[in-house]
Structure 1
Amino acid sequence: MESFHDEDFSSSVAWETGAPTPHDPPPSSNPPSSSAQPQAYSAYPHDASPGPGGPDLGRAGFGGAGADADAGTGAASAGPGGAAQGAGQAVHDVQVRDGKVELEGTSDTFVSYLVCAKTQLPSFSSKTPSARRRYHDFVFLRDALVKDFPACVVPPLPEKHRMEYVIGDRFSPEFIERRRVDLERFLQRIGRHPKLSRTSIYQAFLESSEWNVYKHKHHARATSTDESSSGVLDSLSDTLLNAFAKLKKPDERFVVIRQHLDSFEEGLTSLERLAGRSRTRMSDLSGDYEDLAVSVQGLGYLESGITEPLMRFERALVDFGAGVKDHSASASEGFLEHVHSLLAYSHAFKGVLKLRDQKQLDFEELSAYLSNVATERDRLAGGYGYGMGLSSYFKEKVESLRGGETDMSRAARLHRLDTKIKELQEAVLHAQETSSAFNDEVMAEHATFRATKRHEMKLLLGAFADGQIRMHKQSITAWDRTIPPLQRIYVEQ
């Protein structure tokens, strides 16, 4: 049976094996419920991928405080072949360049970057938008996207203070360059996202000359929406919210996706460990070549007849050792940074999966609570008192000793229970819609994540291979210049 990974770039990678085949039945879009078990699901279907827009997220409760109303309009479907198909990538050729230290010598010193991109979207004022932004602006963009689109996997940002970048001044050229690369990768991931790339906040980030004004308006709108949002879940939080609660009926689709993410992270961790070990060994090899060069130099001083060829050989050894060391250091740093970024990207996807589980848990807990309240109401209407259980028995006996329960108090309790049942029914319906919409959105995110992962793994491993080829070509050139003089050495028989 042909594996569904045959079309995936990462088909030969160990952490992508052992998954379901494309012949599995297609998943159901209905949310998990107490009446039906989730169907088996193949995480990587060949035939079609969920669209990026998903259901009406505003109705389902996904739109955040400053969510863009036009997000996802005209968005292309994210399929296995790329992050966006049909209409093409919304924003492409995103670059972050020209890191510049601003207000140098003051306490308000910061670094700004020139952000450039290309787009064909008519909503942009230019096909080549550009603007200068600082790191705090990138943080605001990501925080706003995470809040406004909780069902989307928003790419991570490089940490503000990472000692892995560089030891010393965070305004040094080395630190600025490494951060520039990570910020560029962050924006490129958003540009390949079929929904986030079409949001108004991303557009404003790329081209607005009044970005600070936009930030204040967005923050004010988010604050006012947060203050006005409330629902039955808020009033029942003490009853329902349980950090240790588990899903009664886990959806097999997302169980498979989580397993694939675990395997992917395990493979990246192994790759990171092997790359670090290779860097250490290459550094040791460079030292061995330098030691050999010293020995050859000493031999050249002793053998006066072949001093010049041996000195050339010694110089080739030194150049080869230095080239190996420099290439290993420069290549491994970028390689490890990209691997670390992919790990953080996978962690962000797991965060969305955790939030999806919470939506399903809200639906399950609300449904169970509604069932208990309905049972209590039926027992009370049937004249059975307060319900089942030892506490209910003692409570009923106490009421009987006090003179019994009046018809008026029973009617009042029935009215309160009817009101609560009505509220809970509306809350259960809303929770079911939210869970279903979240499921659809996460499935679309999985297709986008998979396409991005494949694209970046191809770039990552391709760049590593190209670097190895360049290093060995340089080595061949160095040795080619050295071999002819060595061949002219005459050795008496």
Structure 2
Amino acid sequence: MLGDDEDVFDSVTWESPSAPYDVDNTVQPSGPGFKQSTAGTDDAQGPHDPKWEGYLITTVKDPVKELAETKDAYVSYLVLAKTNLPIFSTPNPSARRRFQDFVFLRDHLVKDFPACVVPALPDKHRLEYLTGDRFSPEFMERRRLDLHRFLERISRHPTLQRSTLVRAFFESTEWHVHMHQHLAHPPGPEPTPGIIDNISDTLLNAFARVRKPDERFLDMREGVDKFEDGLVLCERLWNRVRGRTNDGNPESGEDLTADYHDLAVAVQGLGFLESGITDPLNHFSNTLLEFSALMRHKTQTTTDPFLVHLHSLLTYSHANRAVLKLRDQKQLDFEELSDYLSGVTIERDRLSAIISGHAGSTGLGLSAYLKDKVDAIRGADDDRSRVEKMRKLDIKIKELQDAVTTAHETSDAFSDETLREQTVFQYTKEAEMKEMLGNLADGEIEFYQSAMEEWERIIPIIQRIRVDV
């Protein structure tokens, strides 16, 4: 929250990167929400270590139903921030945004920063949209928490937090105008069709594999797999625990809260039969009812938020996996283009050898032999047609050489950025795991302390019961 004075990342030196903003590098960022390390220096940081320019602490609160009683009704949320980033015009920006504004922000961050792990938004296609219950306080509060977590992840990212779109999202009083301007004038040039777009899809298909995988990214992918497997297993177990504690269906036989409630009713009925111990049994019945209520309260305030956060962290990991997959695709583009260039070069050398009378020196293969026979049948095996074909191949080779160089530079740059993204993801994951498990532990401690107080109060009353035999 905005008032917290700790817990974003530990042992991180906040530095001004060579980013698309003019900042004074002599300014040392300071403020709540960050613990700055004084041990590290510029020389101590690796080339793939992320660098932060400052802090951005965000929160989403106060969901309000706008245009009530109309078909255009929607929910708006108050987004607040506290920052020392120089790109913001005020240290405490705020604005009201609807869910579609969050969707626009997320979609264009993905488009503008393809190498960044942009967190996913909560799914819009929920049952509440079909039943008409999307304006219920419970649903709006769940949605608020999901949106708060989305902005929190963006604010922890050293690149996304400095995006001009993020700044406008918090500051702009004419957000719709800014959205139209962003659509009309995107921050990066629109990609133009190149040689890679003209290559047959059989070269760049979904079943192709990277032939020279980088061990660093193989280890990352293995780590992501293990992390997601752990989250899925944890989510499955806690869903089972939740179902057996409070599944909302007393007839299932697995609802402990309902069982304790039924036991309380039975003890109360027993008290009416045993007139000598009616009062102690009523106290015991009330304790059972209170314990049942405590279990239900723990489910609503601790278990359910834990499961929601667990699922959200899983979707965030999926976004990280998508970046790793995109990096592999960049390397695959380079490898396939290199192979295509090699094939075209071999074909050009073969034609040159045939024209010069040294066809046997090129290692003629079966496919080339059949191609020559087909050309002979079509009457296209004369030197003039071969020279024209060589001229076209020379042009294609030049284009392919440029494309291979570009693909190699893109692959290397994407790999470097992916390494930084993994570090940022690890920071964010650790911070969220600490918060999530801390909230779970606090909820469990509160539940057992309250339960102990209730049972300690009833034990002396039970011990005073005397039954004549």
Is the 1:376–1:387 contact (alpha carbons within 8 Å) kept by the matching residues of 2? no
Deviation at 1:136, TM superposition (A): 0.4
The match for 2:341 is 370
Q: Secondary structure at the match of 1:116?
A: strand
1:98 — aligned with what? Answer: 62
Q: Which residue of 2 aligns with 1:271?
A: 234
Deviates more, 1:236-245 or 1:160-169: 160-169
Distance 2:137 2:422 in 1: 37
For 1:436 and 1:231, locate their aligned partners in 2 and report how far apart those are by CA, in whole Å: 19
Pick aligned residue for 1:241 from 204, 215, 233 = 204
Q: Give the partner amino acid of 1:439.
A: S
SS in structure 2 opposite 1:483? Answer: helix
What does 1:212-231 align with in structure 2 at a 5 Å threshold?
A: 212-222=176-186, 225-226=189-190, 229-231=192-194
How far does the alpha carbon of each residue in 1:92-112 deviate from its partner, in whole angstroms, 9 at most, with x for none?
331100101111111111110
Shift of 1:356: 1.0
What per-residue deviation string (whole Å, max 9, x for no partner) do you get for residues 403-443 of structure 1? 88555443333222222111111111100000001111111
- For 1:344, the equivalent position in structure 2 comes to 315
- Name the SS for the 1:219 alignment partner: helix
The runs of 4+ residues in structure 1 deviating greater than 6 Å are 71-76, 82-87, 164-167, 401-404
- Contact 1:72 1:199 (C-alpha < 8 Å) held by counterparts: no
Q: C-alpha distance in 2, partners of 1:133/1:270?
A: 36
Question: Using the alignment, how far apart are the partners of 1:134 and 1:84 within structure 2?
Answer: 34
Contact 2:88–2:167 (8 Å) recurs in 1: yes
The alpha carbon displacement at 1:163 in A equals 3.4
Indicate which of 420, 424, 432 corresponds to 1:456: 432
After superposition, the C-alpha distances for 1:11-68 in whole angstroms (9 at most, x for unaligned) are xxxxxxxxxxxxxxxxxxxxxxxxxxxxxxxxxxxx999x997xx9xxxxxxxxxxx9
| Shift, 1:462, TM fit | 1.1
Please state how far the C-alpha of 1:323 moved relative to its aligned partner: 1.3
Residue 148 of structure 1: CA displacement? Answer: 0.7
Give the whole-Å Cα distance in 1 for the aligned partners of 2:318 and 2:91.
34
Q: Using a 3 Å threshold, how does the CA distance of structure 1 residues 256 and 167 change in structure 2: closer, same or farther?
A: farther
* Displacement after TM superposition at 1:246 (Å): 1.6
Aligned partner (choices 100, 105, 116) of residue 152 of structure 1 = 116
**Residues 87, 162 of structure 2: 8 Å contact kept:** no
- For residues 76-115 of structure 1, the aligned pairs below 5 Å read 90-115=54-79
Paired letter, 1:256: D
Measured after TM superposition, the shift of residue 273 of structure 1 is 1.0
User: For the residues of structure 1 that align with 2:130 and 2:461, how far apart are their CA atoms?
Assistant: 43
In structure 2, relative to structure 1, the CA distance for the partners of 1:318 and 1:235 (3 Å cut) is same
Distance 1:313 1:382, change over 3 A: same
Matches within 5 A, 1:30-179: 69-70=20-21, 90-163=54-127, 169-179=133-143
Q: Distance in 2 between matches of 1:240 and 1:70?
A: 40
CA contact (8 A) 1:70 1:199 kept: no
Tell me by how many angstroms 1:249 deviates. 1.4
Give how far 1:396 is off.
3.1
Alpha-carbon shift at residue 255 of structure 1 (Å): 1.6
Deviations along 1:455-486, one digit per CA (max 9) or x if unpaired, are 11111111111101111111122223323333
Q: CA deviation at 1:168?
A: 5.2
State whether residues 113 and 133 of structure 1, in contact with CA within 8 Å, keep that contact through their aligned partners in structure 2.
yes
- Is 1:158–1:179's contact at 8 Å kept on the other side of the alignment? yes
| Shift in alpha-carbon separation, 1:274–1:167, aligned structure 2, 3 A | farther
Residue 392 of structure 1 is matched in structure 2 by: 368
1:232 aligned to 2:208? no
Q: 2:46 is matched with which residue?
A: none
**Residues 148, 308 of structure 1: CA spacing in aligned structure 2 closer, same or farther, 3 A cutoff?**
same
Report the counterpart of residue 6 of structure 2 in structure 1: none
Contact 2:53 2:158 in 1 (8 A): yes
CA distance in 2, matches of 1:224, 1:191: 22
Alpha-carbon separation, structure 1, partners of 2:213 and 2:23: 29
Partner of 1:18: none
Q: Tell me which residue corresponds to 1:322.
A: 293
Count of aligned positions: 428
Report the alpha carbon displacement of residue 69 of structure 1 after superposing the two structures with TM.
4.2
Aligned-partner SS, 2:306: helix
Partner Cα distance (1:376, 1:83) in 2 = 61
Q: Residues 310-337 of structure 1, C-alpha deviation per residue, up to 9 Å, x if partnerless?
A: 2111111111112112322332221111
Structure 2 Cα separation of the partners of residues 149 and 224 of structure 1: 10
Q: CA deviation at 1:274?
A: 1.0
- Between the aligned partners of 1:442 and 1:52, the Cα distance in structure 2 is 20
Match of 1:5 in 2: none
CA deviation string 1:105-149 (max 9, x = no partner):
111111100000100012211101101000000000010010111
**What amino acid does structure 2 have at the position aligned with 1:245?**
A
CA offset digits 1:220-264 (Å, max 9, x no partner): 1249943x6232212225463322222111222212111111111
Q: 1:316 and 1:166 mapped to 2: Cα distance?
A: 40
Query: 1:33 is matched with which residue?
Result: none
1:419 matched residue in structure 2 = 395
Q: Give TM-score, length-normalised by structure 1.
A: 0.79
* Residue 261, structure 1, aligned to residue 224, structure 2: yes
Per chain length, whose mean CA-contact separation is higher, i.e. which structure has more relative contact order (CA < 8 Å, sep 6+)?
Answer: 1
1:188-199 pair list within 5 angstroms = 188-199=152-163
Cα pair 1:145 1:154 within 8 Å, conserved: yes
Matched, 1:360 2:331: yes
The 1-side partners of 2:217 and 2:370 are apart by 45
TM-score, normalised by the number of residues in structure 2 = 0.82
Q: Which runs of 5+ in 1 are unaligned?
A: 1-46, 57-67, 77-81
Distance of 1:311 and 1:182 partners within structure 2:
43
CA drift of 1:207 comes to: 1.1
Amino acid at match of 1:447: T
| CA–CA separation in structure 2 for the residues paired with 1:223 and 1:173 | 38
Q: Partner residue of 1:306?
A: 277
Amino acid at match of 2:174: E
**Contact kept? 1:116, 1:129, Cα under 8 Å:** yes
CA 1:52–1:452 in 2, change beyond 3 Å: closer, same or farther? farther
1:474 is matched with 450
Q: 1:289 to 1:72 in 2, by over 3 A?
A: farther
